[in-house]
Structure 1
């Protein structure tokens, strides 16, 4: 099962406060442990929402809003994509994570949809299109 593990933003992360050298090293060791265990597929930190944009959709209209965005506790400051056997394994890994922020912080874990979750609505053509895209992302050909 693939999961997205999201480090929630804090006032410090939204202000662009960089982690201490100790925290950067501890997170590097944790990431290395995840990679060595075959769990981590991807991950990165996100710059503050003041450097971001949101695009709202309403039918054919698109409205672009510049950051920063309100409700810091609802924003994401970083993420990982992990491959785990189940949610319990993901929780155990998160519990081993160093506190990702200088003060109180929160990490959210969400399962990702797999193509098979859409079997009821997928046509053979749509399935092939998505599979072809997946293969290209994985560096495969054809």
Structure 2
């Protein structure tokens, strides 16, 4: 089972404020523990929304809007992708996630389970996705 731990953005992350050394040390220690347990798949911080864009689909058209985006509470500042044997194991790891903005600052992470291909309706398109995930030799 794969889960994504998403760190919600704040006005500081949107301003490009980098974590202090103690928070970085806590994040590194946490991710080292994930790696040592064999559950870490990926992790990264995201640049502020001013460096990104959105594509809106409406009426068969696509419209590109450059960042920044106003509502930081709707944005993601970073993520950690883990693979565990159960929802409960993922929850235990998520509970150990360091306070993302520092021990005394407000912050939030959201955890969502990823769909696995076996959970999707069968069909030709799904088989094409399976081929993309097959090891390349």
Unaligned runs of 5+ in 1: none
Residue 80 (1) aligns with residue 80 (2): yes
Residue 27 (1) aligns with residue 27 (2): yes
Separation of aligned partners in 2, 1:17 and 1:128 = 43
RMSD over aligned Cα, in angstroms?
1.3
Report the counterpart of residue 128 of structure 1 in structure 2. Answer: 127
Task: Spell out, residue by residue over 1:36-72, the C-alpha distance to the aligned partner (whole angstroms, 9 max, x if none).
Answer: 1011101100011111100111243110111111221
Residue 140 (1) aligns with residue 136 (2): yes
Task: Spell out, residue by residue over 1:13-35, the C-alpha distance to the aligned partner (whole angstroms, 9 max, x if none).
Answer: 11110000111111111111101
Which has the higher mean CA deviation after the structures are superposed, 90-99 or 71-80? 90-99
Task: Spell out, residue by residue over 1:67-124, the C-alpha distance to the aligned partner (whole angstroms, 9 max, x if none).
Answer: 11122111100011110122222221122121111321111000101111113xx32x
TM-score by length of 2: 0.91
Unaligned runs of 5+ in 2: none
Separation of aligned partners in 2, 1:89 and 1:114 = 17
Which has the higher mean CA deviation after the structures are superposed, 45-54 or 80-89? 80-89
Number of residue-to-residue matches in the alignment: 135
Task: Spell out, residue by residue over 1:118-138, the C-alpha distance to the aligned partner (whole angstroms, 9 max, x if none).
Answer: 13xx32x32331111012xxx
TM-score by length of 1: 0.88
